[in-house]
Amino acid sequence: MSDPTNVLAPEHRRLRIGGTWRDAASGATFAVEDPATGRTVAEVADADVVDGLAALDAASRAMAGWAATPPRKRSELLTATYRALTARSEEVARLITLEMGKPLAEARAEVAYGAEFFRWFAEEAVRVEGRYRTAPAGGYRILTVPKPVGPCVFVTPWNFPLAMGARKIAPALAAGCTTITKPAAQTPLTMLLLARIMEEVGVPPGVVNVVTTRRSGPVVSALLADSRTRKLSFTGSTEVGRVLLRQAADNVLRTSMELGGNAALIVCADADLDVAIDGALVAKMRNIGESCIAANRIYVEEPVREEFTARFAERMGALSVGHGLDDGVDVGALIDEAAVTTIDELVADAVGRGARVLVGGGRPDGPGHFYPPTVLVDVPDDARMLQTEIFGPVAPIISFTSDDEVLAKANDTEHGLVGYVFTRDLQRALRFAEGLDTGMVGINRGLISDPSAPFGGVKQSGIGKEGSHEGILEYLDLTYAAIDLP
C-alpha cells in the first residue's frame, strides 16, 4: 500500500504558529504510530510551554485583523476549505486511517462530515445578527451587538482527528476568533494537514495555529492561565474536563465541553427489528465503538430479546477485522494497547459476574491493537461495563419488561450525552425522548451527528453545543448599548 504520510511533507510535521512551520523550541519530537502495526509512521514536533505561548502570541496579534475581516470574506475562506477537503478526501482519509486505525470507508465518512462543518459555518458567518428595539418603557433604544470572544484554545481527541477540530475551528473563524488547537498526541497528523490546507486556501497567518505535544498538561495549563485566552473548547473524558474547568475558572473563560457518554439504546417489542438491528449496529460499531455517542448499553424488551440478540450477534460476528487500509475491512485497530487492555478487563469483569459471551471476547494474537466484535448477554447491573464508557466493539445486551424500568436504568448514570429508542409507537417514542436525561436522542436511527444539528450533552457529559446555529453563539459575546432617544 502507498504511504499516506507522503501527503504531509516533513516541513509540515512541525508546529504551525503565526503563519510559519517551526520546530519546537527544544528541538524535541515524538513518534506517531500506526495502531494496526505498531510501526512509527512519522515524527512530529513536541511543543512545550514556550511554544504554546508563542502560538498565543500569534493568535493575539492576528485577532483584531481577523475580527475586522468582512463576514463575506471569512465565509469564502471557510467555503474554500470545505471544497479543498472534499477534493482531497481520499488522501485525508488515508492519513486518518493510518494514525487512528479506523477502516478507510469510515475515514472517508469522517472527512465528509468534518468538511461539512466548514460549509455550514461559512453560511452562518454572514448571518450573525444583533437587535435594535424600543425599550418597553420608551425613552431610549436597546441595541445589542455580537462580537467575537477572542483567542480560543481547542483541545481535541484522537477518535475523530479531523471532525473534532473542524467543528471547533469552523464556528470560531466564522465568528471572527483566532484559534490554537492542541490535537491528541496519538493523532496529530490530520490536524497538521488541515492547517496546511487552510494555509493553501488563504486563511491569514496567526488565525489557525496548531501545537502538537505529548505533554498536554503544562502547555494547556499555561494557555489557560494567560489572560489573552478568552475561550476553551474541549472534547474528551469527563475526568479531564473537570480539571480543565477548574483551570478555566481562574480567568473566567468561556467554555464548551463535550465530555464522556454512557448511551443506552432501547429496543421496544413493537420496534421494526430490521431497523433496530441496523441502527444498533451503527450506534455500537461506528468508529469501532470508539465514540462518545456509541451505544454502551443495549436494552431489549423481553418479548423480542431472543430474536434481536440472535440476529444482532450474527451481524456482529460477520464483521471482518484487519488493517483499516485493506479492502473489505469492517473493524480496524483500537487506538493503543491501553484501550485493548481496558476492554479485555471489562469483558472479564462482566463474565466473572455471570455474563455470557455469544460472539468474540478475548484479544487475538499478533501485532496491532485489535479486539474482535463482541456480544454479551445476561450482563448484571453491577458489571463495570455498564457504569463506564466501553469505547470499543463490545455490546452488552440487557432485557427489560417495562418503560419505567428501562428509563430508570438508562438514566442511572452521571452522563447524559445521547440515548437511542426504537419503537413504532409515536407517543411511546416521545415519552422516551422527554424522559431520557440526555442532550440528544436518536429515534429509530443509530446515527445522529449532523453539522446542522446542536450536538451536546447534559449532566456530566458537557456544557454548550457544537453545530447548528447554536454552535456559532459559543464564540460570540453580546454588547448591549442603551441609546437615549426620547
> Among all residues, which ones are annotated catalytic?
258
> What radius of gyration do the chain's Cα atoms show?
23
72 close to 129: Cβ distance less than 8 angstroms: no
Residue type, 112: A
User: Nearest to residue 462, comparing CAs of 473, 452, 454, 472?
Assistant: 454
Q: Are strands 415-416 and 356-359 parallel, antiparallel or unpaired?
A: unpaired
Cell of 324: 483499516
Say how far residue 91 (Cα) sits from the centre of its chain.
Answer: 21
**Helices 89-100 and 71-87 sit at what angle, rounded to 10 degrees?**
70
390 close to 383: Cβ distance less than 8 angstroms: no
Residue type, 79: T
> What is the total residue count of the chain?
486
**Distance between CA atoms of residues 28 and 24, nearest Å:** 6
291 close to 325: Cβ distance less than 8 angstroms: no
Cell of 205: 497567518
User: Nearest to residue 257, comparing CAs of 234, 275, 230, 239?
Assistant: 234
User: Nearest to residue 377, comparing CAs of 304, 310, 314, 291?
Assistant: 310
